[in-house]
Amino acid sequence: MRALAEFIMRGRLQATLVVVGAAVLPFMFWLSAAAGSLVLLRRGLSDALGILVWALLPALAWLYFGDPRTLLVMLGSLALAMQLRNQAPWSRVMLYSIGLGLLYTWVLLQVFGGPIAALAGEVQKALPDALSQAYQQLSDEERGQLEALLVPVLTGLLAALLQALTLLSLMLARYWQALLYNPGGFGSEFRTLRFRALPAMLLLLGMLLGPSLDVHLAALTPLCSVPLAFAGLALVHGLVAQKRIQRFWLVGLYVSLVVFMQLVYPLLAVMAVVDSLFDFRGRASRKEGAGSDGEG
CA dihedral (109, 156, 94, 241) positive or negative: negative
- 75 falls within a domain: yes
Of the given ranges (106-115, 128-137, 161-170, 207-216), which has the lowest mean pLDDT?
128-137
- 170 in Cβ contact with 94 (< 8 Å): no
pLDDT in tens, 84-107: 999 999 999 999 999 999 999 999
What pLDDT is stored for residue 296 in this prediction? 36
pLDDT digit string (tens) for 163-172?
999 999 999 9
> Is 53 exposed, middle or buried (CB count within 10 Å of its CB: 0-12, 13-18, 19+)?
exposed
Separation CA 24–CA 9 (nearest Å) = 20
Q: What's the predicted TM-score (pTM) here?
A: 0.93
pLDDT of residue 292: 53
The CA-to-CA distance between both ends of the chain, in Å, stands at: 43
Helix axis angle for 261-278 and 220-243, nearest 10°, is 70
Burial of 163 (0-12, 13-18, 19+ CB in 10 A): buried
pLDDT at 274 over 90: yes
pLDDT score for 294: 46
The pLDDT value recorded for residue 290 is 60
214 Cβ contact partners less than 8 Å away, ≥ 6 residues apart: none
Output 290 or 193, whichever has higher pLDDT.
193
Q: Residue 289 has what pLDDT? A: 62
| DSSP annotation string for 237-291 | HHHHHHHT--THHHHHHHHHHHHTHHHHHHHHHHHHHHHHHH-HHHHHHHHHHHH
Give per-residue pLDDT as tens, 121-130.
898 888 777 7
Q: What is the mean pLDDT of residues 266-292?
A: 84
Residues in the chain, total = 296
Mean pLDDT confidence for 200-219: 89
Rounded-to-integer distance, Cα 270 and Cα 173, Å:
28
Decide if 33 is inside a domain: yes
Three-state SS annotation for 134-151: HHHCCCHHHHHHHHHCHH
Range of the domain at 161: 2-191
Position 272 in a domain:
no
Dist CA 288 CA 292 (whole Å): 6
219 lies in some domain: no
Residue 281 included in any domain: no
More confident: 142 or 114: 114
Residue 67: what are its φ and ψ, rounded to 5°? -125, 105
Find the radius of gyration of the CA atoms of the chain: 21
Q: Encode pLDDT of 244-263 as tens digits.
A: 777 788 899 999 999 999 99
Residue 141, pLDDT score: 78
Binned at pLDDT 50, 70 and 90, residue 242 comes out as confident
Split into its structural domains, the chain has a count of 1
Query: Is residue 226 very low, low, confident or very high in pLDDT (cuts 50, 70, 90)?
Result: very high
Tell whether 53 is covered by a domain: yes
Average pLDDT, the chain: 90
Residue 180: the pLDDT is 95
Q: Give residue 235's pLDDT band: very low, low, confident or very high (50, 70, 90).
A: very high
pLDDT at 50: 85
Please indicate, yes or no, if residue 88 is contained in any of the structural domains: yes
Whole-angstrom Cα distance, residue 70 to residue 94? 20
